[in-house]
């Protein structure tokens, strides 16, 4: 399922960020691996993204398949 939202926070130092979904659901984490896989080096606060949500082996939900919306 495709989701949209804005970057609420992102730390280049830790490589971890949070996306605030447009649908009002709970914020979703995003890791530097997903950012790099999308061809980006970092995210900016208030940047609009399209993404999918994936459950990791540890049970956490993370954003993946990121696309920066223009």
Domain extents in the chain: 3-68
What's the pLDDT score for residue 50?
98
- H or E stretch covering 33: helix 32-37
Topology, domain 3-68: OB fold (Dihydrolipoamide Acetyltransferase, E2P) (2.40.50)
Give the side-chain half-sphere CA count within 13 A for 10: 22
Q: What is the CA radius of gyration of the chain?
A: 11
C-beta separation of 61 from 54 below 8 A: yes
In this predicted structure, what is the pLDDT of residue 70? 73
Tens of pLDDT, residues 2-58? 999 999 999 999 999 999 999 999 999 999 999 999 999 999 999 999 999 999 888
Distance, in Å, from the CA atom of 59 to the CA atom of 70, rounded to the nearest integer, reads 32
């Amino acid at each position: 399922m495709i989701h949209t939202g804005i970057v609420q926070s992102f730390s280049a130092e830790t490589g971890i960020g949070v996306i605030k979904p447009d649908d009002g659901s709970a914020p979703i984490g995003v890791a530097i691996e997903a950012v790099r896989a999308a061809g980006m080096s970092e995210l900016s606060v208030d940047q609009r993204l399209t993404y999918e949500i994936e459950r990791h082996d540890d049970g956490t939900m993370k954003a993946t398949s990121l696309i920066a919306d223009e």
